[in-house]
Amino acid sequence: MPDLCALLQPRTIAVIGASTQPDKVGGMPVRLLSELGYAGRIIPVHATAREVQGLAAVPSLDVLDTPADLAIVALPVSASLDAMRQLARNGTRAAVFFTSGFAETGGDGIAMQAELTALAQAHGITLLGPNCLGAMNLRERVFATFSPMPLSGLPPLGDVGLVSQSGAFGAYAFALAREASLGLSHWVTTGNEAGLHVADVIEWLAHDDATRVILAYLEGCRDGTRLRRALAAARAAGKPVVVTKVGTTEAGARSAQSHTASLAGEDAVYQAVFDEYGVFRAHTLDDFFRLGYVLSRGRRPRHWQPSAKEPANTVTPVALVTVSGGVGIMMADQAEALDLPLPPMPEAAATALRSAIPFASTANPIDVTGQIVTQPEVLLDAIAAAAQSPDYGSVVAFLAGGVGAPRIWPGLQEAVETLHRSGTAAPLLFSGLVDDEKRRWLEARGALVLREPAHAVQAVAVLARAAAQAAAAQAKPAVSAAALAAPDLPRDTTSLSEFDAMQWLTACGIPTAPHGLARDADEAVRIAESIGYPVAVKLCSPDILHKSDVGGVVLNVADAQAVRAAFAQVRDAAPYHGSPARFDGALVAGMVRGWGELMVGVRRDPVFGLVALAGIGGTAVDIFRQTAFGLAPLTHARACTMLRASRAEALLCGHRGHPAVDADAVAEVFVRVSQAAAALGPRLDTLEINPLIVTAQGVVAADAVVTLHAGDGIND
Q: Which stretch binds its own copies (CB under 8 A): 420-428, 447-455, 582-590, 659-667?
A: 447-455
In the complex with its own copies, the residue whose CB is nearer, 521 or 599, is 599
430 binds its own copies (CB under 8 A): no
108 binds its own copies (CB under 8 A): no
Say if CB 340 and CB 461 are below 8 A apart.
yes
165 binds its own copies (CB under 8 A): yes
Measured from the CB of residue 264, what is the shortest distance to its own copies in angstroms?
Answer: 16
Among 48, 474, 579, 619, binds its own copies (CB under 8 A): 619
Residue type, 588: V
Residues in the chain: 716
The candidate with the shortest Cα–Cα distance to 467, out of 336, 306, 332, is: 306
DSSP secondary structure string for all residues of 153-174: --PPEEEEEEEES-HHHHHHHH
Measured from the CB of residue 247, what is the shortest distance to its own copies in angstroms?
Answer: 4
In the region spanning residues 117 to 136, those forming contacts with its own copies, defined by CB under 8 A, are: 133
260 binds its own copies (CB under 8 A): no
In the complex with its own copies, the residue whose CB is nearer, 37 or 370, is 370
27 binds its own copies (CB under 8 A): no
| Angle of CA points 615, 618, 624, to nearest 5° | 60
Among 5, 285, 489, 560, binds its own copies (CB under 8 A): 285
Cis peptide before 490 (omega within 30 of 0): no
The candidate with the shortest Cα–Cα distance to 481, out of 632, 615, 600, is: 632
Among 230, 366, 600, 616, binds its own copies (CB under 8 A): 616
Binding pattern for the stretch 175-204 against its own copies, x by CB under 8 A and - elsewhere: xx--x-------------------------
Q: Torsions phi, psi of 150, nearest 5?
A: -60, -25
Judged by CB under 8 A, the number of residues near its own copies is 69
Q: Which stretch binds its own copies (CB under 8 A): 304-312, 417-425, 654-662, 697-705?
A: 654-662
Nearest-angstrom CA–CA distance, 643 and 647: 6
Measured from the CB of residue 72, what is the shortest distance to its own copies in angstroms?
Answer: 16
Measured from the CB of residue 217, what is the shortest distance to its own copies in angstroms?
Answer: 7
In the complex with its own copies, the residue whose CB is nearer, 317 or 432, is 432
Which residues share a beta bridge with 600? 614, 689
Binding pattern for the stretch 553-592 against its own copies, x by CB under 8 A and - elsewhere: ----------------------------------------
Give the burial class of 603: count Cβ atoms within 10 A of its Cβ; 0-12 exposed, 13-18 middle, 19 or more buried. buried
Q: Which stretch binds its own copies (CB under 8 A): 203-211, 414-422, 615-623, 673-681?
A: 615-623
352 binds its own copies (CB under 8 A): no
Number of H helices and number of E strands within the chain?
21, 31
Nearest-angstrom CA–CA distance, 696 and 262: 31
105 binds its own copies (CB under 8 A): yes
Nearest-angstrom CA–CA distance, 11 and 101: 30
Where does 357-452 have alpha helices with state H? 376-388, 409-422, 436-444
Measured from the CB of residue 274, what is the shortest distance to its own copies in angstroms?
Answer: 16
Give the burial class of 348: count Cβ atoms within 10 A of its Cβ; 0-12 exposed, 13-18 middle, 19 or more buried. exposed
For helices 409-422 and 376-388, angle between their N-to-C axes, nearest 10 degrees:
10
Among 352, 356, 400, 472, binds its own copies (CB under 8 A): 400
169 binds its own copies (CB under 8 A): yes
Binding pattern for the stretch 657-686 against its own copies, x by CB under 8 A and - elsewhere: x-----------------------------
| Order of strands across the sheet that contains 535-540 | 515-518, 585-590, 535-540, 553-557
327 binds its own copies (CB under 8 A): yes
Among 151, 329, 342, 363, binds its own copies (CB under 8 A): 329
325 binds its own copies (CB under 8 A): yes
End-to-end CA distance of the chain: 20
Three-class secondary structure assignment of 595-641: CEEEEEEEEEECCCEEEEEEEECCCHHHHHCCCEEEECCCCHHHHHH
Say if CB 440 and CB 413 are below 8 A apart.
no
In the complex with its own copies, the residue whose CB is nearer, 285 or 679, is 285
The candidate with the shortest Cα–Cα distance to 32, out of 94, 96, 78, is: 96
Does the CA dihedral 468-470-473-474 come out positive or negative? negative
In the complex with its own copies, the residue whose CB is nearer, 327 or 521, is 327
Q: Which stretch binds its own copies (CB under 8 A): 198-206, 269-277, 501-509, 614-622?
A: 614-622
In the complex with its own copies, the residue whose CB is nearer, 12 or 165, is 165
In the complex with its own copies, the residue whose CB is nearer, 256 or 485, is 256
Say if CB 560 and CB 527 are below 8 A apart.
no
Nearest-angstrom CA–CA distance, 392 and 326: 22
246 binds its own copies (CB under 8 A): yes
Q: Which stretch binds its own copies (CB under 8 A): 75-83, 227-235, 617-625, 681-689?
A: 617-625
Among 100, 413, 506, 569, binds its own copies (CB under 8 A): 100
Binding pattern for the stretch 511-550 against its own copies, x by CB under 8 A and - elsewhere: --------------------------------------x-
In the complex with its own copies, the residue whose CB is nearer, 33 or 330, is 330
Measured from the CB of residue 690, what is the shortest distance to its own copies in angstroms?
Answer: 12
Question: DSSP assignment, residue 343?
Answer: P
247 binds its own copies (CB under 8 A): yes
Measured from the CB of residue 58, what is the shortest distance to its own copies in angstroms?
Answer: 26
Nearest-angstrom CA–CA distance, 429 and 416: 11
Measured from the CB of residue 172, what is the shortest distance to its own copies in angstroms?
Answer: 4
| 690 membership: H or E segment, kind and range | strand 684-695
Among 79, 411, 595, 709, binds its own copies (CB under 8 A): 595
In the complex with its own copies, the residue whose CB is nearer, 10 or 596, is 596
455 binds its own copies (CB under 8 A): yes
Among 174, 280, 499, 629, binds its own copies (CB under 8 A): 174
Residue 675, Ramachandran bin (φ over 0: left; ψ between -120 and 50: alpha; else beta):
alpha
Nearest-angstrom CA–CA distance, 204 and 212: 12
Nearest-angstrom CA–CA distance, 353 and 341: 21
Measured from the CB of residue 697, what is the shortest distance to its own copies in angstroms?
Answer: 19
Q: Which stretch binds its own copies (CB under 8 A): 233-241, 329-337, 475-483, 490-498?
A: 329-337
Q: What is the CA radius of gyration of the chain?
A: 31
Cis peptide before 148 (omega within 30 of 0): no
In the complex with its own copies, the residue whose CB is nearer, 433 or 565, is 433
Relative to beta strand 55-56, strand 51-52 is antiparallel
Among 12, 53, 166, 394, binds its own copies (CB under 8 A): 166
In the complex with its own copies, the residue whose CB is nearer, 284 or 579, is 284
Q: Torsions phi, psi of 474, nearest 5?
A: -70, -35
> Contact residues for its own copies (CB under 8 A)?
25, 100-101, 104-106, 133, 149, 165-169, 171-172, 174-176, 179, 217, 219, 244, 246-248, 283-286, 322-327, 329-330, 333, 358-359, 369-371, 374, 400-401, 432-433, 451-455, 549, 595-596, 616, 619-620, 622-624, 626, 647, 650-651, 655-657
